[in-house]
Amino acid sequence: MKTNSNYDEKKDQKEWDTGDFEFGKPLGKGRFGAVYLAREKKTHFILALKVMFKSVLEKAQLEHQLRREIEILSHLRHPNILRMYNYFHDRTRIFLMLEYAPGGELYKELQKNQRFDDNRTATYIEEISDALMYCHARKVIHRDIKPENLLLGLRGELKLADFGWSVHTPSLRRTTLCGTPDYLAPEMIEGSPHDENVDVWCVGILCYECLAGFAPFEAPTRMETFRRIKEVNFKFPPWISEGAKDLIAKVLNRTPSLRLSLEGIMEHPWVKTKSRRILPPVYSEVEKQMFMASPKGS
């Protein structure tokens, strides 16, 4: 990955490097690097640093995907989307300066609790729907919604993260197969052109998994999972409420255009009565001063 590319710093911006931060515990590890808790030395501002190795990204031919993720994240400002403040690089690594979500992954929280109640699930569904409405209005499809890509903020609010498979497309029509098997929409499995409704489908899957403790189309093999998805073949456990069943059934419609809209999800009686959403506070002054400028290379 050449250092004179889009990653290069602009002369009028603060030139960040690893010496500006105190590194703390690792928050997670992935195929291309790791995420660390960090503190900016001058202001003591706490953030997460995602560290990726250029050689690994080059080998996997994912440089373009990372550039796209950075470009998309640099323009998103929403309380339920994990904020990217800035980025920098050295000879071997790329560092994304990300908002720290102290609650960790929704996936781990769901594993610990086995399943969530109606109030907690409805709150998450309202938050993710609002975040996706914001993305779709800006012609961004996420395409990889799953509990592992959802983090929890200081007040337990949902933070949509990992835009690695996301795409900015003015027409909102794509054909690439991407995402996680349990969360793939029927049109993606079949290789048909897809639009922002693949994200809407994922909201229905997420709602079911939060309430049931497992995904609706879960099966021993990927092919069986795909078959069940294409047939929309699933059953509700007895403990799921009628209101939640009604919402999930309206979202998990095989025909993309007939799925309940994100606005419809937020206005659904079950969400309206069960959600306990609290909007997090606006960004602090330190945050604004340090990071609100456009990322380097944009």
50 a known binding residue? yes
Q: Kindly state whether residues 68 and 80 are assigned to the same domain.
A: yes
**CA-based end-to-end distance of the chain:** 17
Last-in-domain residue among 48, 77, 100: 100
CATH number at residue 183: 1.10.510.10
DSSP bridge partners of 22:
39
Least confident of 23-27, 29-33, 65-69, 82-86: 29-33
| Upper half-sphere CA count for residue 257 (Cβ side, 13 Å) | 2
- Percent of the chain topping pLDDT 70: 84
Cβ–Cβ < 8 Å for 88, 297: no
Q: Kindly state whether residues 121 and 49 are assigned to the same domain.
A: no
The amino acid sitting at 99 is: E
Q: Kindly state whether residues 70 and 126 are assigned to the same domain.
A: no
Q: Kindly state whether residues 119 and 257 are assigned to the same domain.
A: yes
Residue 285: per-residue pLDDT: 54
Tell me how far apart the alpha carbons of residues 92 and 53 are, in angstroms, rounded to a whole number. Answer: 6
Q: List active site positions.
A: 144
Give the DSSP letter of residue 27: E
Residue 45's pLDDT band, with cuts at 50, 70 and 90, is: very high
Structure confidence by residue, pLDDT tens digits, 202-260: 999 999 999 999 999 999 999 999 999 999 999 999 999 999 999 999 999 999 999 99
101 a known binding residue? yes
Instruction: Tell whether the model's pLDDT for residue 135 goes beyond 80.
Output: yes
Instruction: Tell whether the model's pLDDT for residue 48 goes beyond 80.
Output: yes
Other C-beta atoms closer than 10 Å to the C-beta of 287 total 16
C-alpha dist (Å) from residue 118 to 124, 209, 211: 10, 12, 7
Q: Kindly state whether residues 230 and 86 are assigned to the same domain.
A: no
Domain count, the chain: 2
Q: Is residue 27 part of a domain?
A: yes
What sign does the dihedral 291-161-7-39 (CA atoms) show? positive
Ordered DSSP codes for 104-115:
EEHHHHHHHHSS
C-alpha dist (Å) from residue 157 to 79, 113, 125, 276, 285: 8, 17, 11, 10, 21
C-alpha dist (Å) from residue 273 to 58, 79, 244, 276: 49, 21, 11, 9
Q: Kindly state whether residues 55 and 111 are assigned to the same domain.
A: no
Q: Is residue 266 part of a domain?
A: yes
Tokens linked to 92: 């071997």
Residue 31: per-residue pLDDT: 72
| Upper half-sphere CA count for residue 134 (Cβ side, 13 Å) | 16
Q: Kindly state whether residues 87 and 141 are assigned to the same domain.
A: no
Q: Kindly state whether residues 260 and 211 are assigned to the same domain.
A: yes
DSSP bridge partners of 34:
29, 51
Last-in-domain residue among 68, 100, 132: 100
Residue 170: per-residue pLDDT: 45
pTM, rounded to two decimals: 0.85
Q: Kindly state whether residues 121 and 68 are assigned to the same domain.
A: no
CATH number at residue 41: 3.30.200.20
Q: Kindly state whether residues 124 and 263 are assigned to the same domain.
A: yes
Structure confidence by residue, pLDDT tens digits, 111-133: 999 999 999 999 999 999 999 99
Over range 142-170, report the average pLDDT: 81
Domain containing 115 equals 104-274
148 a known binding residue? yes
In 3D space, the residue among 200, 23, 43, 26 whose CA is nearest the CA of residue 104 turns out to be: 26
Q: Is residue 293 part of a domain?
A: no
Instruction: Tell whether the model's pLDDT for residue 4 goes beyond 90.
Output: no
Last-in-domain residue among 100, 128, 151: 100
162 a known binding residue? yes
99 a known binding residue? yes
Residue 298: per-residue pLDDT: 38
Q: Kindly state whether residues 114 and 153 are assigned to the same domain.
A: yes
